[in-house]
Amino acid sequence: MTSGAYIAAMGIISPLGTGSDSTYQALKRGESGLNAVDFFQLNRPDFPKVGMVPGTIKNTLPRSHELARIAAGQIMAQCSLVPDAVVLGGTTGGMLTCESLLKEKETDPERFRYHGLGTVAEDIADLMGCTGPAITVSTACSSGNTALAIALEMIRSGRAETVLAGGADALCRMTCFGFQSLQVVDPAGARPFDKNRSGMSVAEGAGLLLLVSQRPENPVAELSGSGLSCDAYHASSPHPEGNGAFDAMVKAMDDAGITPEQIDYISLHGTGTEANDKAEAMAVNRLFNKNRPAASSVKGATGHPMAAAGAIEAVISAMAVSKDFIPGNTGFSTPDPELNFIPVPNPIQQPVHRVLSNTFGFGGNNAAIVISKAENRRAGTCCRDATRVQKPTMGPMSVLGSACVTGAGTTADSLEAFYKGRSLAGMITDKTLTDLLSLKKVRRMKRFSRLMLALAVLAGKDAPPGISPASIIGGTGWGSLSETWDFLSRLFAGNEKSSSPIDFVGSVHNAALGHVAMELGAKGANITTTGGDASFEQALWTAGILGQKDHAPMMVMGGDEHHPDLSFKFDMSVIPGETAADGGGALVLAPGAVPGKITLTPRLFMKYDDRLGPKDSLAGLIRELPDFNDRYGAVMAGIPRTCTARGKDLAEALTNAFSSSLPILDYRSLTGQFATAPAVAAVLAVDAVENNRLPNPNVPGQCMDLHHRGILVLGLGRYLTAVEVMPG
């Protein structure tokens, strides 16, 4: 059986209270935490109750950040261990604060500095002293479980010994009015699986789990397995027969090495909507047949806290196995004969050894995990000393196909401009995107989704016949800006009473990859990562981790759209009046080295420590690349405008460390300033290595010989990243 990860400590804040004990007591009493919002104005007196965290929350940072900090503080009070990595799920980030700023027509980018979803994970990493990868997963309401799945594979692969994982989301106007616009909010409060259910209850909260490879003294439980899938069916509705949910549950149990008969309790996704509950009931009935274990949804008590749902329910599932306790299905009273499914109506005490916990989200993103009683397999200590072992090198991924779209055009046009030393910056024309796509397919899509779908189509065509990516993993700094702007503009114009359901569904960061999955029929993992200038590197790192487990072709992407009103507010490297730029890149990758194929290998992902000098900041990379001068023919460095001086110092320090005269090409000077420019750089580097030439940064308009060596692609921003591109 594949090993799991121990849960050394947990933190939770939800509408039921703060901390594990208060949450457990509220669940035992069968309480509901649904109430009315009191920290921002809803201009509709009839607005349904929501799952608001009670009490006063500090507003030093945006609310999502503060909720995450409260949960992290509980963990820090239990254990002094510093995580090697942080993986969090999120969908709102600083949106609540951003909404107010936009309504006030604020233009100072500094006021928007915490808007990005990735800033929550970065803040928690700073709080806990983590200098390793900080990855933000945005797969709608499955984000929390997806983050836990990635964290589990980080530990299994040896890339980390301890990972802080979970999710955090706060209520905001966009989510409250967005779900209301879809007519999926129950005025009476969520009643999962009840015959009279009529929708969900929007909520907020945070759940964090500290996962460790070595058994601590008193482990809470064990994360034993995970399963990820995509319906590839519809932008917002689940597969009517629950096929994706079924696949995720089967994968999670297979990964944990157990059978359905060994599950004692199912923590159901159970939102209370007609379609979601029906699809999940069908999947559970199909999987467990007549031997279904006890099952319930806690969302009648907590509401649906979006990206935090899976993480909060993972904490509750760990409580279930540690306390032999099954929560009741709050709100349930009348069985629905169409479901052939009756959840546990009231909390009960009975032995629980293993829990299967489900979460599903927009875009057909499904994530299931298995949490078990901790087995006494390994000995260790939670709070080890500061000495860290050398982490194993991540394996290479072979490039089977690649494509990019930039201001210069599609792949061929972009490469032509690149080799001639011309700028690729500019906004992609609508014609460039629509010429690649069927108008019928994209008529309701806006710019970002069209960009990502066009990239997927181009990269798919570049791959050998018969190659079909099973998984789609993509990074974006800012997601669907057009839909976000249009939704909020319409909301404010209508006195904050209603807005567009189409724009709401399209505004979530993972909407674009949902369309890609439908286009390609990709039913494996569908993961969107986000974190400013390191968003694509997060996707590539995630692909490297998951690829070692799945052993199947995958598409790894990165892209961002420029928006005239939002880009300069959110991205401090974008300056009004300069050439606007957007674009992206996509690669079809196979785990491992395929003879004759270019390979990509992530080599570094760490936070820049401004207390260190440039050489010391690069010490990890320098140790990992002792044969630097023999391996590479050139370096391509991406230096965000906000990090110009530091980036140049780091590039010089790298050259000095290896006494190297290798040329360094600043690729952002060609691509322009947008968050996922590294995705374009990766595609350019692949072509350069394949053709053994690169534009000479010292002689404009001419190319230099790489001498059949590779290229090191560096990201020199808030996070230092390195990706090796090597000949086959």
Cβ atoms 282, 179 nearer than 8 A:
no
d(CA 618, CA 719): 11
d(CA 159, CA 155): 6
Query: Could you please report the per-residue DSSP string of 513-542?
Result: HHHHHHHHT--S-EEEE--GGGHHHHHHHH
Claim to verify: residue 309 and residue 435 sit in the same structural domain: no
Residue 561: how many CB atoms within 10 A of its CB?
27
Reduce the DSSP state of residue 230 to 3 states and report it.
Answer: strand
- Find the DSSP H helices in 197-308: 243-256, 274-288, 299-302
Sequence-distant (≥ 6) Cβ neighbours of residue 620 within 8 angstroms: 604, 606
In this predicted structure, what is the pLDDT of residue 379? 43
Q: Report the pLDDT averaged over residues 252-257.
A: 96
For 359, phi then psi, to 5°, come to -145, 140
* 250-254 own/partner pairs: CB under 8 Å, 24+ apart: 250/287, 251/226, 251/227, 251/368, 252/225, 252/226, 252/227, 252/356, 252/368, 252/369, 252/370, 253/225, 253/227, 253/356, 253/370, 254/225, 254/227
DSSP label of 562: -
Claim to verify: residue 561 and residue 512 sit in the same structural domain: yes
pLDDT band with cut points at 50, 70 and 90 for residue 527: very high
Claim to verify: residue 406 and residue 368 sit in the same structural domain: no
pLDDT band with cut points at 50, 70 and 90 for residue 392: low
The two three-digit tokens of residue 335, written as one number: 């069985």
Domain total for the chain?
Answer: 2
Instruction: Please give the residue that has the higher pLDDT: either 587 or 494.
Output: 587
Sequence-distant (≥ 6) Cβ neighbours of residue 440 within 8 angstroms: none
Claim to verify: residue 331 and residue 416 sit in the same structural domain: no
Claim to verify: residue 215 and residue 146 sit in the same structural domain: yes
In this predicted structure, what is the pLDDT of residue 378? 46
Query: Could you please report the per-residue DSSP string of 91-156?
Result: S-TTHHHHHHHHHTT---GGGGTT-STHHHHHHHHHHHT--S-EEEE--GGGHHHHHHHHHHHHHH
On whether residue 610 sits in a domain, the answer given is yes
On whether residue 377 sits in a domain, the answer given is no
* 97-100 own/partner pairs: CB under 8 Å, 24+ apart: 97/62, 97/63, 98/62, 99/172, 99/173, 99/174, 99/488, 100/40
Mean pLDDT of all residues belonging to the chain: 93
**CA angle (297, 269, 211) in 5-degree steps:** 100
**pLDDT above 70 (res 377):** no
| pTM (2 d.p.) | 0.96
**pLDDT above 90 (res 497):** no
Per residue in 93-126, pLDDT (tens digit) is 999 999 999 999 999 999 999 999 999 999 999 9
On whether residue 70 sits in a domain, the answer given is yes
In this predicted structure, what is the pLDDT of residue 44? 73
Sign of CA dihedral 276, 279, 285, 287: negative
Claim to verify: residue 336 and residue 449 sit in the same structural domain: no
pLDDT band with cut points at 50, 70 and 90 for residue 234: confident
User: Shortest CA distance to 447 belongs to which of 462, 431, 460, 461?
Assistant: 431
Per residue in 25-35, pLDDT (tens digit) is 999 999 999 99
pLDDT band with cut points at 50, 70 and 90 for residue 384: very low
Claim to verify: residue 205 and residue 354 sit in the same structural domain: yes
On whether residue 388 sits in a domain, the answer given is no
**pLDDT above 60 (res 380):** no
d(CA 139, CA 229): 11
On whether residue 380 sits in a domain, the answer given is no
On whether residue 271 sits in a domain, the answer given is yes
Lowest-pLDDT range of 178-182, 412-416, 494-498: 494-498
Per residue in 552-604, pLDDT (tens digit) is 999 999 999 999 999 999 999 999 889 999 999 999 999 999 999 999 999 99
In this predicted structure, what is the pLDDT of residue 382? 44
The percent helix, strand, coil of the chain (3-state, each to 5) is 35, 20, 40
Q: What is the CA radius of gyration of the chain?
A: 24
DSSP label of 593: P
**pLDDT above 60 (res 386):** no
**pLDDT above 70 (res 387):** no
Instruction: Please give the residue that has the higher pLDDT: either 610 or 384.
Output: 610
Claim to verify: residue 402 and residue 510 sit in the same structural domain: yes
Report CA 489 to chain centroid distance, whole Å.
26
Report CA 557 to chain centroid distance, whole Å.
13
Domain around 682: 397-726
On whether residue 381 sits in a domain, the answer given is no
**pLDDT above 80 (res 375):** no
CATH number at residue 450: 3.40.47.10
Instruction: Please give the residue that has the higher pLDDT: either 437 or 352.
Output: 352
Claim to verify: residue 347 and residue 480 sit in the same structural domain: no
Claim to verify: residue 181 and residue 231 sit in the same structural domain: yes
Claim to verify: residue 273 and residue 359 sit in the same structural domain: yes
On whether residue 306 sits in a domain, the answer given is yes
d(CA 509, CA 363): 10
Claim to verify: residue 278 and residue 402 sit in the same structural domain: no
Choosing from 356, 372, 388, the residue where a domain stops is 372
d(CA 699, CA 139): 44
**pLDDT above 90 (res 484):** yes
Lowest-pLDDT range of 236-240, 399-403, 668-672: 236-240
The two three-digit tokens of residue 295, written as one number: 């099952």
User: Shortest CA distance to 191 belongs to which of 303, 268, 280?
Assistant: 303
Per residue in 611-644, pLDDT (tens digit) is 888 888 888 888 888 889 999 999 999 999 999 9
Per residue in 317-337, pLDDT (tens digit) is 999 999 999 999 999 999 999
Choosing from 338, 372, 406, the residue where a domain stops is 372
In this predicted structure, what is the pLDDT of residue 394? 84
In this predicted structure, what is the pLDDT of residue 385? 37
Per residue in 42-65, pLDDT (tens digit) is 777 778 899 999 988 998 999 999
d(CA 9, CA 76): 9
